[in-house]
Chains A and B, each alone.
Chain A
Amino acid sequence: GAVVSQHPSWVICKSGTSVKIECRSLDFQATTMFWYRQFPKQSLMLMATSNEGSKATYEQGVEKDKFLINHASLTLSTLTVTSAHPEDSSFYICSARAGDNEQFFGPGTRLTVL
């Protein structure tokens, strides 16, 4: 099956610092990758859609200058949370899709900002 990895699985950082999260499709080439955020007991919230070699498309209300997305290759996308604050603490999940087929999720990254 399709495997998507994320790194790190959890991170604790100080307020004001930046955190980079990597998402990799291990056994397929992902034309599109997605970044989601999920707060406790809430549903997935799509933050942005990322296509290889082009700029990410951000959902309404998501600050593109705060959440930097780079999709440099068909197997790697990164999300950088810049100048993180405690309210950015959340579960960040990426997913990858090849063509119009199923979307597979990474295991998620739990971010805690102190």
Chain B
Amino acid sequence: QKEVEQNSGPLSVPEGAIASLNCTYSDRVSQSFFWYRQYSGKSPELIMSIYSNGDKEDGRFTAQLNKASQYVSLLIRDSQPSDSATYLCAVTMYSSASKIIFGSGTRLSIRP
């Protein structure tokens, strides 16, 4: 089992709709969770971090964390074509000395 798992996609969502990206992780005692966005040919950009169960909202983005289910998600409301990118889920693993482990990413495509 991979330490951080994401569906590779592509996930296609119409403009204006809600895009839902999901991530599961294997280390039950993980403490910190991050979502990064990576455009083709560019480096990842941090868009959300979440540390406790529940929802965290920032503009059109909402991160959701459920530690009991070892599940973290990212919702993007009012999706725009500029949201088309690969989204990387990242988790700090207690078992690997606080190293941040990245999922392989989900490609999101927003169709006009």
Contact = CB atoms under 8 A, between A and B. Distances in A.
Interface in A90-109: 91, 93, 97, 100-108
Interface residues of A, number: 17
A100 B32 contact: yes
B98 interface: yes
B102 A44 contact: yes
Given A43-B102, A44-B88, A44-B102, A104 B32 contact: no
Contacts of A100: 31-32, 92, 98
Contacts, number: 39
B100 interface: yes
Contacts of B49: 102
Interface stretch (B18-26, B37-45, B59-67, B71-79): B37-45
A103 B90 contact: yes
Nearest to A100: B98
